[in-house]
Chains A and B, each alone.
Chain A
Amino acid sequence: MDQPSHFKLKNNYPAGGVREIPISGYDDFYSFVTDGLKDEARHCLAYYGIKTQDSLKLYCFLADDPSGNIEVAAYETGTLNPVLRSAADLFPQLSVFEREINENFGVVFEGHPWMKGVRFPHNRRDKSKTMENYPFYGIESEELHEVGVGPVHAGVIEPGHFRFICNGEKVLHLEIQLGYQHRGTEDLFLSKNTPLQRCILAESIAGDTAVGHSLAHTQLIESLTGLEPGEALQIERCVALEMERIAVHIGDTAALCGDVAYQLGQVVCEAIRTRVINTTQLWCGNRFGKGLIRSGGSNFPLSEETAAEIIKMTDFVDRQFSGITECIYSSPSVLARFEDIGTVTGTQARQIGAVGIAARTCGMARDVRKTHPFQYFRNFAVNPAILETGDVLARGMIRKLEVRESLRIIRELLEVWAGKDKDTGKPDYSYKLKPGAFSVSVVEGWRGEIVHSCETDAKGNLVHYKVKDPSVHNWMALALAVRSQEISDFPVCNKSFNLSYCGHDL
């Protein structure tokens, strides 16, 4: 081939021009995807379509972990009703992307194993497909019974329907049906076109990942405008991201203990988490870090006093959290509930393209902070914890290990920060986006990699904005984890992943 089949770029580097992405025939596009994914070090970051006048452009982004490159290829259908060969039968991780393209644009993927709706958006192609008439997967049998949970749940959680097929107490199959929220987030990014509106929108994609998503958005904007954050600002963003990770991981440990009725672990972890999010509040006025990350600058530059408070917080968490996790993970009654429950095998995790903690508990070293570094992580080595067993215990333990690593990162980053020029500047809300450009931004949120990507037209207006929350892949891991488990262990499996409903129902 004379012409390369794809374009390479790095995470969070200046945006590329849309024209630089070579447009290939479907065969080349197909083999770019399938050949690329044969190497297990690659996985699909995003795969989506953009509608033009009378055609459809498909983009596929693959992340190559060893080189830190992101490879992009494009294919133009030339018609609005294309019939294409599916790659999801070979690589199940592509399934959800093909389903989404099918739902939005009606592209037929021949050979796709299970073409069902993803989130039933208002602007879907086939309006006759609704949640009400969706045919659930069923098995005809006298012995089996179905248990449907949700979309309205006990407790304060988001809507989602879980359909179990059980043999007595044993789960044979779980189908997870999401898409009750119809928020139209990606379209809002195009219609709400003042920079501040977009920042606030990004923070609200998933309330528990406010820092992660707003950082992904901010990076994207900065790469499209050429704004370069100073080193102090980069460090502050990394610290905020790690504080979010610590808070959520501790909160999840509390919830895991709550699910198995271990009161001691629950209340102690809840108290520790409060200390962490209160420190975030001290910093920026919001416990979840809303308003903290803005493009080009910061409304809440880190002061010496706040930094000292953060260091104090890390000492407190280090002491208390290692004490209570010692207690939790040595209590026989708790271990009996966590060990060998909800196991996802390494093979399964690789096939479905698991990301974040779901991947790292199955022996996959998939951490964007290390493989596709962003912000100050480009100059700072992160040592992600990797566990092998893939069960609830592993997903509990990795939270303990990651909290410890994040505490180290915060302490060392703040030491570096002390010696930097601290003029972070005010946020820039008057930016102009580069015309005819595209960019992709990847951030390791506490749940896993968050991908934002967008494209601008010749005038520099956004024509397409795409968000991928890590939950999109990992919901499948949950469905696999509960197979052959007892139905009463579903809640603790679910909590061990703690996936986002709204991150999926964009």
Chain B
Amino acid sequence: MPGVILIFISALFFPGIILRTKSIASGRKGPGIFQPLKDIAVLLRKGSVFSGTTGIIFQIAPVIALSTLVCASLLLPFANQRSLISFGGDFIFFAYLIGLGKFFSIIAALDTGSSFEGMGANREAFFSMLIEPAFFILMATFAMFTGHTSFSGIFNHFFLTGNDYVLIFSIIGIFLFTQIAMVENSRVPVDDPRTHLELTMIHEVMILDNSGFDKALIHITSYLKFAVYGSLMYNIIVPSGWNIFLHVILFLAVQLLFAVAIGLLESFRARNKMNKNPKYLLTISAIAWISFVIVLILTNKLTV
């Protein structure tokens, strides 16, 4: 339970910290850390406007996307406590919960009948499909490494295997989770959340028709998604046996560093050309494959 609460708390500050980092990196004053929250408060008070072409799918999609993510956050363990829901292979459930939310936002975008949103939905589906192997292969690597198949099992035993190479997997995990989080959250280099150009957008263009309350839900979903990935990363950085209070502090520190890292990554590079994205995403999956092969060798399942 404390893990879920901490995820919610860090989700509150995540977008603000990214924004602050980017403004400081570009030498601007920029908005305050709470500005995204204030924006959400404004949106929540507003009513939604629905286009005449949309149906029920468009109206329920934001709620479904948010609820799947809240469910997904219940699967994540914190410190040495078991997560609220835990069973063998729950990371597959986790991935498809997020996938379900994404599926609904994609068909909601198609529901609007706009040529822009169809284009965005098409890109989002394609790129999500390409990044999916990276997540599964990475989790399979961890499962193989620890001998457990649930999040709780994997993360509670991550540092207890007695394997000297644990740090390598920790580093690979941090790298891959950062990349996956950037893609899943439609950030640079795959997407650009700041752009106003519909033709280049991926995620932003899909929510062009959403307004008011629904838009607030969509924003909350994306903030929560960052915190969920931050939490995954935290679990492979900090050994689970440490003192619980230390854990709370370290958790918030890791989330803060993650947000700052994203802000810095976005400040100093341009985004990819659209047709380079598949290559970029497959490279991330390829790195996951390499780590998988390494773990096979280390656990003597594959002999060379």
Q: A residues bordering B, Cβ < 8 Å?
A: 145-149, 154-155, 169, 257, 259-264, 266-268, 271, 331, 333-334, 336-337, 341, 486-491
Contacts A331-B270, A333-B269, A488-B199 known; A263 to B22 CB distance under 8 Å?
yes
Within 8 A of A (CB), among B172-217: 188-189, 192, 194-200
Q: Nearest Cβ distance between residue A498 and chain B, in whole angstroms?
A: 14
Contacts A169-B274, A261-B194 known; A488 to B269 CB distance under 8 Å?
no
CB-based nearest B residue for A266: B26
Interface pair A147/B272, CB less than 8 Å apart: no
CB-based nearest B residue for A341: B273
Interface pair A169/B270, CB less than 8 Å apart: no
CB-based nearest B residue for A491: B197
Interface pair A263/B119, CB less than 8 Å apart: no
Interface pair B198/A261, CB less than 8 Å apart: no
Tell me the bound Cα distance from A146 to B119 in angstroms: 11
- The one of B28, B199, B267 in contact with A149, judged by C-beta atoms closer than 8 angstroms, is B199
Tell me the bound Cα distance from A487 to B119 in angstroms: 10
Question: Does B301 reach chain A (CB closer than 8 Å)?
Answer: no
User: In the complex, what residues of B have CB within 8 A of residue A487's CB?
Assistant: 119, 199
Q: Nearest Cβ distance between residue A65 and chain B, in whole angstroms?
A: 37
Q: Give me 14 A-to-B residue pairs in the complex whose CB atoms sit less than 8 angstroms apart, sorted by A's number.
A: A146-B115, A154-B197, A169-B274, A259-B195, A261-B189, A262-B270, A263-B268, A334-B270, A336-B272, A337-B270, A337-B273, A488-B273, A490-B199, A491-B197
Q: Nearest Cβ distance between residue B28 and chain A, in whole angstroms?
A: 6
Question: Does B25 reach chain A (CB closer than 8 Å)?
Answer: yes
Add 17 more A-B contacts to A267-B26, A336-B272 (CB < 8 A): A147-B116, A147-B119, A154-B196, A155-B197, A169-B275, A261-B194, A263-B268, A264-B26, A268-B27, A333-B271, A337-B270, A341-B273, A486-B274, A488-B199, A488-B200, A489-B273, A490-B199
User: In the complex, what residues of B have CB within 8 A of residue A337's CB?
Assistant: 270-273
Question: Does B276 reach chain A (CB closer than 8 Å)?
Answer: yes
User: In the complex, what residues of A have CB within 8 A of residue B267's CB?
Assistant: 263-264
Question: Does B266 reach chain A (CB closer than 8 Å)?
Answer: yes
Tell me the bound Cα distance from A267 to B29 in angstroms: 12
Within 8 A of A (CB), among B1-48: 22, 25-28
- The one of B27, B200, B270, B276 in contact with A257, judged by C-beta atoms closer than 8 angstroms, is B270
User: In the complex, what residues of B have CB within 8 A of residue A271's CB?
Assistant: 27
User: In the complex, what residues of A have CB within 8 A of residue B199's CB?
Assistant: 147, 149, 487-488, 490-491
User: In the complex, what residues of B have CB within 8 A of residue A490's CB?
Assistant: 199
Interface of A is mostly: helix
Tell me the bound Cα distance from A148 to B115 in angstroms: 8
Interface of B is mostly: loop
Tell me the bound Cα distance from A170 to B8 in angstroms: 41
Tell me the bound Cα distance from A149 to B196 in angstroms: 13
Q: Nearest Cβ distance between residue B287 and chain A, in whole angstroms?
A: 19
Interface pair A267/B195, CB less than 8 Å apart: no
Q: Nearest Cβ distance between residue B87 and chain A, in whole angstroms?
A: 41
Interface pair A267/B266, CB less than 8 Å apart: no
Q: Nearest Cβ distance between residue A228 and chain B, in whole angstroms?
A: 48
User: In the complex, what residues of A have CB within 8 A of residue B119's CB?
Assistant: 147, 487
User: In the complex, what residues of A have CB within 8 A of residue B276's CB?
Assistant: 336
Q: Nearest Cβ distance between residue B121 and chain A, in whole angstroms?
A: 13
Q: Nearest Cβ distance between residue B119 and chain A, in whole angstroms?
A: 7
Q: Which 7 A-B pairs have the closest CB atoms?
A: A261-B192, A262-B270, A267-B26, A491-B197, A260-B270, A261-B271, A488-B274
Interface pair A333/B27, CB less than 8 Å apart: no
- The one of A146, A333, A491 in contact with B270, judged by C-beta atoms closer than 8 angstroms, is A333
Tell me the bound Cα distance from A386 to B23 in angstroms: 37
Q: Nearest Cβ distance between residue B276 and chain A, in whole angstroms?
A: 7
Interface pair A336/B274, CB less than 8 Å apart: no
Q: Nearest Cβ distance between residue B94 and chain A, in whole angstroms?
A: 29
User: In the complex, what residues of B have CB within 8 A of residue A336's CB?
Assistant: 270, 272-273, 276
User: In the complex, what residues of A have CB within 8 A of residue B273's CB?
Assistant: 336-337, 341, 486, 488-489
User: In the complex, what residues of A have CB within 8 A of residue B22's CB?
Assistant: 263
User: In the complex, what residues of A have CB within 8 A of residue B197's CB?
Assistant: 154-155, 259, 491
